[in-house]
């Protein structure tokens, strides 16, 4: 169960049934938006992932992308991230802001 950004993930072998698909993905004009802050919330039966831009000067954040998924999908996302991305130690010049834990939409 996910609450306020904390979750218990099943072992990799216990992930949801998945189906690998091959299809075109439209990416024209969708370069992406920079985010330096992140938060996870639960809203009813959905997990909500917010990617934000935080300004230290204004002490405020703006959501640049919000994704709603069933909480059971988070373990699949985490597994794919671990398999696809090599995480290196930060170089000390970039700060990643972790938003406070919240319940419901903020």
Would you write out the chain's pLDDT as a tens digit for each of its 106 residues? 333 433 444 444 444 677 888 888 887 777 788 899 989 899 899 999 999 999 999 999 999 999 999 998 998 888 888 888 887 766 666 777 777 766 655 4
Q: Cα 38 to the chain's mean position, in Å?
A: 7
Question: What whole-number distance in Å separates Cα of residue 89 and Cα of residue 97?
Answer: 16
Q: What are the start-end ranges of the H helices in the chain?
A: 73-84
Q: What is the pLDDT of residues 54-71, one digit of tens each?
A: 999 999 999 999 999 999
Q: Cα 71 to the chain's mean position, in Å?
A: 12
Report, at the CATH architecture level, how domain 34-98 is classified.
Roll (2.30)
Would you state the pLDDT for residue 103? 61
Laid out side by side, the sheet with 60-69 consists of 60-69, 46-55, 37-43, 97-98
């Amino acid at each position: 169960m996910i609450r306020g950004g904390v979750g218990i993930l099943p072992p990799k072998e216990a992930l949801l049934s998945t189906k690998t698909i091959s299809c075109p993905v439209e990416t024209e004009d969708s370069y992406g938006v920079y985010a330096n802050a992140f938060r996870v919330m639960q809203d009813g039966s959905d997990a909500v992932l917010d990617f934000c831009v935080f300004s230290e000067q204004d002490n405020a954040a703006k959501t640049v992308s919000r994704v709603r998924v069933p909480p059971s999908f988070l373990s699949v996302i985490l597994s794919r991230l671990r398999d696809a991305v090599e995480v290196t130690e930060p170089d000390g010049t970039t700060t990643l802001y972790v938003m406070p834990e919240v319940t419901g939409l903020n």
